[in-house]
A and B are shown apart, each in its own frame.
Chain A
């Protein structure tokens, strides 16, 4: 079993929809949780970052962490075609930045 599980999709939604992306994990030592966006043929870029449990909002994006359930989510409101990309969750136990990534979920937002 992988430390981080993420549904690879693909997920196809109409423009304006609310998108929910999720990851589960098994290592209770994880303290830092990140969401990266990766466009085709590009490197991952950091979208959201959360320390420990709770919610964090940044514009149309909201990240949630539920450590009791070992479950993290990324919500995208008013999705746009430019949001079409692969979304990767990543996490670390701290100490340094050895990130453990999920497999990524491919999202397609169609006009």
Chain B
């Protein structure tokens, strides 16, 4: 079936502009996550939703960053007044549910990652 999709795949914007990055999770996946990945680094957690509820936004760098998932499916990460330091790969992931671990430690909550949006702020 279709995996996680993100759009646009590439975005170049001028400093000071607002950008909106879209994530379309795997159909039926309850949980959705946003990460930021700098070149040569692992993904860094930004925020997380269960259905439409934002459960944790502790990773958002500052108040210029916001995310929403109004109908519990598609999510948008918005960066206002972009700065050059915002340039990175922004990745979305989704999972079937938050957590379902059996006694054997089954991977009930595997996160599936999308291809990412490469944001460049000039």
**A interface with B by C-beta (< 8 Å):** 4, 6, 8, 32, 42-46, 49-52, 88, 90, 94-104
Contacts A43-B116, A103-B40: A98 and B105 contacting too (C-beta < 8 A)?
no
Residues of A within 8 Å of B91, CB to CB, are: 43-44
The segment out of B14-22, B42-50, B63-71, B76-84 that lies at the interface is: B42-50
Whether A96 pairs with B105 at a CB distance below 8 angstroms is no
How many inter-chain residue pairs (CB < 8 Å) link A and B? 70
Q: How far in angstroms is the closest Cβ of chain B from A61?
A: 14
Determine if B107 is an interface residue (Cβ-Cβ < 8 Å).
Answer: yes
Whether B105 pairs with A49 at a CB distance below 8 angstroms is yes
A43-B113, A98-B48, A101-B42 are known contacts; what are 19 more A-B pairs with Cβ within 8 Å? A6-B42, A8-B40, A32-B105, A43-B91, A43-B93, A44-B91, A44-B113, A46-B107, A49-B110, A51-B101, A51-B104, A51-B105, A96-B48, A96-B56, A97-B95, A100-B45, A101-B43, A103-B40, A104-B42
Residues of B within 8 Å of A51, CB to CB, are: 101, 104-105
Complex CA gap A104/B43 in Å reads 9
Q: How far in angstroms is the closest Cβ of chain A from B91?
A: 6
Residues of A within 8 Å of B114, CB to CB, are: 43
**B interface with A by C-beta (< 8 Å):** 4, 31, 33, 40-45, 48, 50, 55-56, 59, 91, 93, 95, 98-99, 101, 104-105, 107, 109-116
Residues of A within 8 Å of B59, CB to CB, are: 98
Contacts A43-B115, A49-B107, A51-B105: A98 and B45 contacting too (C-beta < 8 A)?
yes
